[in-house]
Each structure stands twice: as structure tokens, then as C-alpha cells.
Amino acid sequence: MAETSEELMLSERQRASLTRLVLDHQGHLRTFLGRFVKDDTAGDEMAQDVFLSIVSRCEDLAQWPEEEAAKYLRAVARNLVRMRWRQEQRGKSKDQRAIAELLQAERDRSLDQEPDDSALRLGALKLCVEGLPPHARDMVEDHFFQGTPLAGIARTLGHSDAAVRMTFLRIRRQLRSCIETRLRERLSP
């Protein structure tokens, strides 16, 4: 998006509404997107894009019942996922596109399922974060819950930005594996 800073200016009511929506829904939304977007960075960006795309409606949306707002945000996320999938198909050969279209149909069925398993995934995530080594858990809490930028964490720890980014990449992979294992164990007979 190439908006000017003037277009991004929010009223206090919009800012408060958007903040409330982000705080209430970002965890579930990221969990939902994680089912369809395996790249953590892309998933984070898509979650941000969901909230950016609803800025004009944020005051109204913040007044909706929580589940209705969550359903609407998931619908926006679904559209972003489909757009991403279509972009990934561009530039592929005709044969590659034909195979991809078959796979796409299956992914679409999964994408359209409602309600989703976000609550289960979020519960698994909480348990997995608790199971991290203390230094990793502290880093996750500082970044994701306290909003500390990675550069700030790097300075505090005396590490390079690149080292901290790599550490977070490893932590995300560990959490993803842990979550998937917990979900398989829960869903297996």
C-alpha cells in the first residue's frame, strides 16, 4: 500500500477501536493464517494487512459482538490468502497451473471451513510458549506481548540484530512443530 502519512492519520476513536480489535483478535487471526501461510513473516504481514484493510470500518467493527468481529476478520484474511495464492500461480507453466488448481480446490475447502480450530491452536501455543526455555520465553514475551522491537531485544542482550532474528526464526519453528504435535495428539483417536 502506498498511502501518504495523511491517509494513515487516525482519530482518537479510530485509534482506540483499532487498538481494541488488534488486542482482541490478533492472536486468533495469526493462528488462523498460520494454517494456510507457512512463512511466519508473510503470515505476520497478512495479519497486519487485515487490520489495515478494516481501518475505515474499525469503529463499527469494534462495536460488534466479539465472535461476529472475529468471523469478519477471518473473511478478510481468507480473501488475502486467496490473493496470495493467485499471485503465487503467476508465472507458472500451463501444466504447473493445472496441478496447482487441483491443489487449490482442496485448500479452498479447508480455507472456507467455519468455525476454525483457532481456539485449539491458541491453547496449544500457550502451552508451547510455557514449555520454551526461560530465555526464549522471555524474548517471545518481550517482543510479542510487550511490543519490544527485535533491535531493542538485540541491544539488551548484546547481540546483533541478525542473531536475534535468527533466534526468533528458530523459536517460531520450534513453536510451530510443538503446536502441530499437540494438535495431532489431541485429534488422534
Please report, for residues 14, 58, 62, the alpha-carbon distance to residue 65 in angstroms, rounded to integers and kept in the order given: 17, 13, 8
Contacts 24+ apart (CB under 8 A), 80-86: 80/46, 80/49, 80/50, 80/53, 81/33, 81/36, 81/37, 81/46, 81/111, 82/108, 82/111, 84/37, 84/42, 84/46
The residue-averaged pLDDT of 17-25 equals 91
Task: Read off the pLDDT of residues 108-126 as tens digits, 9 standing for 90 and up.
Answer: 666 666 555 667 778 888 8
At 145, the pLDDT band (50, 70, 90 cuts) reads confident
At 153, the pLDDT band (50, 70, 90 cuts) reads very high
Q: What is the mean pLDDT of the chain?
A: 82
Helices 12-34 and 118-130 pack at an angle, to 10 degrees, of 90
Task: Read off the pLDDT of residues 158-176 as tens digits, 9 standing for 90 and up.
Answer: 999 999 999 998 998 898 8
Q: Where are the domains of the chain?
A: 12-93+102-111, 118-187
Residue 172's contacts (CB-CB under 8 Å, 6 or more residues apart) are 40
**Whole-number Å distance between alpha carbons of 13 and 59:** 7
Pick the residue with more confidence: 160 or 92?
A: 160
**What CATH number is given for 118-187 in this structure?**
1.10.10.10
Query: Could you identify the residue written with the cell 481456539?
Result: 119
Residue 97 predicted with pLDDT over 70: no
Most trustworthy range by pLDDT among 27-41, 99-113, 154-168, 172-186: 154-168
At 28, the pLDDT band (50, 70, 90 cuts) reads confident
At 1, the pLDDT band (50, 70, 90 cuts) reads very low
pLDDT at 135: 92
